[in-house]
Amino acid sequence: MKVLVLGAGQLAQMMYLASAPLGVEVMAVDVKDNKIVNPLSKSPYAIDLEFAISDANAITAEFEHIPEKLLALVNDSGKFFPNVNSILAGADRVREKQLLDACKVANCQYRIISKLDDLQNITADLGERIIFKASRDGYDGYGQWRMKSEQDLESLSQIFEQLDLQGVPLVAERMADFTREISVIGARDNNGNIACFDIAENLHHEGQLHLSIAPATKLLSDTIEQAQSIFTTIAEALDYTGILAVELFEMPNGSLLVNEIAPRVHNSGHWTQQGSDTCQFEQHIRAVLGFPLGSVQRQKVTAMVNIIGCTSFSRDLISIPGCHLHWYGKSLREKRKMGHINVVADSYQDLASKLAQLSQYLPSEYFPLLATQAEKLE
Ligand code: ATP
Ligand code: MG
Ligand code: MG
């Protein structure tokens, strides 16, 4: 069987690796030129897009920023999952907000900015600490501007003046004073069955995910219920098939606010490769092909550490028991996700000690990050 994935990055690569044991071949579309490539070797196949679409048993996407023409083309095949609406809700923050509001799912208070005038009296609504997000093409914190006080408004207006606000509006959000960030990732199959993985706790730095711990520490049963109910509401509203990720802010009073959704496998679910009976990549492939979902039973406790913008580390880190390297084979660029490490341990304490060991193999920038996390776990 064959699954065609729109996008040829690391997520397609990991779907490819997880599908092979099932006898499923994953092919990827490089959306820059619509060439069909092997997601692991990146070598092109001698077939064109049309043939690949007709030949595939299912088509899916590894990212949401897909050219509209291509999206329409795969939609016409009747084999595209999750579906176009879900991809658009993930790709466009205005549509995402409309979805969350229509589902009555709590999210950060916001205002849409489609002309400079819309900034009038904004602090009266949202307070002085505001995060402005381009409604399209944002990821890893790109396309965001943070306002710390009303005084920043003038310089921000000058920046916004240069943007095509009518074409690509901004979503201005009140800065949430969350206690931490968590995410719920799960799958919905084409019969409507839902299986969520354990909730992960996520540490971001400069808008980019650096580390996840699963399960999140000190989780209340009420938080788990809230998160799963939010997941179900959104997945059902979208009539979703496949893996869906929901990023959440946990507030001091225990309530959850949705930050954003991702209509695909997600970085904060990479821990499932070693930490769960079925990983998110295999689960997604199962769902889009109409196979039964796999067990989401968690094995031990897991941390996932992103390797960002660097190649200077010792591969010997795999000598630490429970440490697994996933290297994407990409060329080096600043802030680029180059790979990740999953660390599996028997307890949080054991995990803390393994993270401390791990820091000996990584560049010194990682010390504060791993030390802070290790301290929290002990
Ligand atoms: P991703 O790579 O997850 O898709 P993104 O570029 O879409 O990232 P967001 O998830 O919207 O960006 O924001 C990145 C990070 O910025 C969040 O994980 C969070 O740490 C912080 N952030 C975003 N919105 C808010 C908010 N309203 N209040 C406080 N912090 C926020
Ligand atoms: Mg995002
Ligand atoms: Mg995010």
170 and 311 fall within a common domain: no
**Does some domain include residue 254?**
yes
Q: Which ligand is nearest to the CA of 144?
A: 1
**What is the pLDDT averaged over residues 279-283?**
98
31 and 113 fall within a common domain: no
Q: Kindly give the number of the ligand 1 atom that is closest to the alpha carbon of 202.
A: 18
199 and 222 fall within a common domain: yes
- pLDDT for position 365: 79
**Does some domain include residue 87?**
no
Q: Of 93, 122, 178, 259, which is best to mutate to test ligand 1, by the most ligand atoms within 8 angstroms of its C-beta?
A: 259
**Does some domain include residue 99?**
no
Cα–Cα distance for residue pair 288/48, rounded to 1 Å: 22
**What is the pLDDT averaged over residues 325-350?**
95
Q: Which of 126, 145, 174 is the last residue of a domain?
A: 174
264 and 353 fall within a common domain: yes
- pLDDT for position 369: 81
116 and 234 fall within a common domain: no
**Does some domain include residue 91?**
no
What confidence tier does 354 reach under pLDDT thresholds 50, 70, 90?
very high
Cα–Cα distance for residue pair 56/58, rounded to 1 Å: 5
Q: How far is the CA of 335 from the centre of ligand 2 (A)?
A: 15
**Does some domain include residue 97?**
no
Nearest to 373 by CA among 251, 219, 247, 212: 212
Q: How far is the CA of 52 from the centre of ligand 2 (A)?
A: 28
The CATH code of the domain that includes 12 is 3.40.50.20
Q: Of 64, 87, 125, 131, which is best to mutate to test ligand 1, by the most ligand atoms within 8 angstroms of its C-beta?
A: 131
**Does some domain include residue 103?**
no
288 and 190 fall within a common domain: yes
192 and 143 fall within a common domain: no
- pLDDT for position 122: 96
**What is the pLDDT averaged over residues 329-348?**
95
Q: Which of 174, 198, 215 is the last residue of a domain?
A: 174
**What is the pLDDT averaged over residues 127-150?**
93
The CATH code of the domain that includes 166 is 3.30.1490.20
168 and 208 fall within a common domain: no
Q: Kindly give the number of the ligand 1 atom that is closest to the alpha carbon of 142.
A: 6
Q: Which of 159, 174, 189 is the last residue of a domain?
A: 174
The CATH code of the domain that includes 268 is 3.30.470.20
Q: Which ligand is nearest to the CA of 249?
A: 1
DSSP-assigned letters across all residues of 269-327: GTTHHHHBSS-HHHHHHHHHHTPPPPP-PBPSEEEEEEEES---S-GGGGGSTTEEEEE
Q: How far apart are the first and last CA of the chain?
A: 46
**What is the pLDDT averaged over residues 350-359?**
94
Q: Does 309 contact ligand 1 (Cβ within 6 A)?
A: no
Q: Is the pLDDT of residue 142 over 90?
A: no
Q: Is the pLDDT of residue 373 over 90?
A: no
- pLDDT for position 376: 82
Q: Is the pLDDT of residue 187 over 90?
A: yes
Instruction: Residue 19: give the domain boundaries.
Output: 2-80
Tell me whether residue 140 is annotated as binding.
yes
331 and 205 fall within a common domain: yes
Q: Does 245 contact ligand 1 (Cβ within 6 A)?
A: no
Q: Of 175, 260, 340, which is best to mutate to test ligand 1, by the most ligand atoms within 8 angstroms of its C-beta?
A: 260
**What is the pLDDT averaged over residues 324-328?**
97
Q: Are strands 58-61 and 2-6 parallel, antiparallel or unpaired?
A: parallel
Over the stretch 195-235, which tens digit does the pLDDT of each residue have? 999 999 999 988 899 999 999 999 999 999 999 999 999 99
280 and 192 fall within a common domain: yes
42-49 long-range CB contacts below 8 Å, 24 or more apart? 42/8, 49/73
Ranking 172-176, 207-211, 235-239 by mean pLDDT, the lowest is 207-211
Q: Is the pLDDT of residue 367 over 80?
A: no
- pLDDT for position 375: 80
Total domains in the fold of the chain: 3
Over the stretch 35-94, which tens digit does the pLDDT of each residue have? 999 999 999 999 999 999 999 999 999 999 999 999 999 999 999 999 999 999 999 999
331 and 187 fall within a common domain: yes
**Does some domain include residue 285?**
yes
Helices (H) and strands (E) in the chain, counts: 12, 17
Residue with the smallest CA separation from ligand 1 atom 22 is: 207
Q: Kindly give the number of the ligand 1 atom that is closest to the alpha carbon of 175.
A: 28
Tell me whether residue 181 is annotated as binding.
yes
Alpha helices in the chain (DSSP H): 10-19, 49-55, 68-76, 84-91, 93-102, 122-126, 153-161, 221-237, 272-275, 280-289, 348-359, 366-377
Cis peptide before 215 (omega within 30 of 0): yes
DSSP structure class, residue 116:
G
Q: Kindly give the number of the ligand 1 atom that is closest to the alpha carbon of 138.
A: 6
What confidence tier does 312 reach under pLDDT thresholds 50, 70, 90?
confident
Cα–Cα distance for residue pair 221/223, rounded to 1 Å: 5
279 and 369 fall within a common domain: yes
**Does some domain include residue 166?**
yes
Q: Which ligand is nearest to the CA of 266?
A: 1
